[in-house]
Chains A and B, each alone.
Chain A
Amino acid sequence: MGHPAGGRNDARNPLIARDRDWHPAPLAPGYKTSVTRAPQRPLVAMPTTLSEQTGPAFGHGLIGELDNNLILNFTGQPAIGERIIVHGRVTDENGRGVSGTLVEAWQANAGGRYRHKKDGYLAPLDPNFGGCGRTITAEDGSYEFLTIRPGAYPWPNRVNDWRPMHIHLSLFGSGFGQRLITQLYFEGDPLIARCPIVHTIGQDKAIQSLIAPLDMNRAIPMDCLAYRFDVVLRGRRQTVFENRMEGM
């Protein structure tokens, strides 16, 4: 016994299998690009091995003072837009906090424009907004970013498709098999229901888990609003055999 789940000392324990009916379908024709980018053959199933149960570690020393402050981290001058805190906890499927793990975020500016040479949208760049941030979760798995709320933007899918406001998040966990990229949406956005990327996910409860509620308790009066977004990474099974090996 005695491995903290989600910690770095449990690499002997297999990861809990992914529920691929809960995740988006690889082939979701409403999202046109997925049609030629989804495998046709079935995935080959296998239990995880050390190759998936271990993973890269990133120390707190990696993180600069403004890395999680997207309002200031590009030029030091404030970006234009609705000031928000995005915060939450990263836990595993056993409900335990995942500490010391890297969380990376990227997003468009307040007008829906990305700082990327392939984005030709006519909304202007904000000279003081780069659009990326990163942090490492605290002991209890909590994290936070300070940013501006991204705008919706059009994209060439169907004739009049618009992405809801969203922030991309990338997470590691303690094993390479936990690697996850997802998108955070905002409570009340009417574009969520119309988005083919959101609806690559079949189950409504799964979609709901990507929508961050407004969090007035964390808002700072006369400064910024807040949204809460908790993330769940794959957990690890703790087999009797492993427990006996490790300490009994």
Chain B
Amino acid sequence: MYPKETPSQTAGPYVHIGLTPNFVGIHGIYDQDLGASPIADGAKGEVVTITGTVRDGAGMVMRDALIETWQADAAGIYPSNDPRGVADPNVSGWARIVADFDSGEWTLRTVKPGRVPAPDGRLMAPHISLWIVARGINIGLQTRLHFEDADNDGCPVLARIEQSDRVATLMAKKTGPSDYRFNIILQGIGETVFFDL
């Protein structure tokens, strides 16, 4: 028999102690918190700022959510272990974002990712993968952020969403020349699409 995957448990309300200790005032253990930015100065591509909130099924903005993001560079190559090539050295691709304790707003500054092929070779629309944990979430939620002004037609992953009106929940809305808004709703009306992948 094969060993079973270790079961998930909630990250709990104090997840920041472990993952972003400096953010909650625990200084001196690590020089800085990991994942402050998925890009460094000089990264190729269009730099955009994405802001948003995470809401629960009662419509409350969650102030204890933690989001990690993973994305390709502007050419569609993933940093660190993409078998197709070497990514832009100024793109690490990974970020760890904490919602503000007062407003619940989170912000991601990054480059727009290029297209990446699905296993069958068709190109997926530009997207950023998101993993969301918090108190009350028993297993991390996986979703994707797309851009409403990109060419999203023909994306084989978006095409899997049977109720096509739900595709809109994955679209970051353009709010300025290089600004987008992406609100995540865990439950209820306008519920964000989450994947079992």
Interface residues in chain A, defined as those with a beta carbon under 8 Å from any beta carbon in chain B: 8-9, 11-12, 14-15, 17-20, 22-26, 28, 31, 33-41, 43-52, 54-58, 62, 64, 67, 73-75, 91, 93-95, 104-106, 114-119, 130-134, 168, 170, 174, 176-177, 179-183, 197-198, 200-201, 205-207, 209-210, 231-235
Contacts and interface: CB of A to CB of B under 8 A. Distances in A.
A34 B131 contact: no
Listed residue (B12, B94, B157) with the most chain A CB atoms within 10 angstroms of its CB: B12
B131 A176 contact: yes
Nearest to A116: B14
A37 B134 contact: yes
Contacts of A19: 4-5
B124 A51 contact: yes
A118 B13 contact: yes
A207 B160 CA distance: 33
A11 B82 contact: yes
Contacts, number: 266
Contact of B18 (A54, A91, A104, A174): A104
A168 B10 CA distance: 9
20 contacts: A9-B81, A19-B5, A25-B138, A26-B139, A37-B135, A38-B186, A39-B186, A41-B194, A50-B116, A51-B124, A116-B17, A116-B24, A131-B17, A131-B18, A132-B30, A168-B9, A177-B197, A180-B140, A232-B4, A232-B5
B105 to A, nearest CB: 18
Listed residue (A23, A58, A75, A119) with the most chain B CB atoms within 10 angstroms of its CB: A23
A243 to B, nearest CB: 14
Listed residue (A52, A93, A116, A177) with the most chain B CB atoms within 10 angstroms of its CB: A116
Given A54-B82, A91-B3, A43 B134 contact: no
A182 B11 CA distance: 7
Interface in B82-123: 82-83, 92-94, 116-119
A49 B144 CA distance: 12
Contacts of A55: 70, 80-81, 94
A56 B57 contact: no
Interface range for B: 35 or more
B146 to A, nearest CB: 12
Contact of B80 (A41, A57, A198): A57
Given A37-B56, A39-B194, A170-B19, A50 B82 contact: yes
Contacts of B127: 51
B58 A36 contact: yes
B97 to A, nearest CB: 14
A44 B9 contact: no
B92 to A, nearest CB: 7
A49 B157 contact: yes
B187 A36 contact: yes
Contacts of A75: 28
A132 B26 CA distance: 9
A51 B145 CA distance: 12
Nearest to B64: A118
B33 to A, nearest CB: 11
A44 B195 contact: yes
A177 B5 CA distance: 13
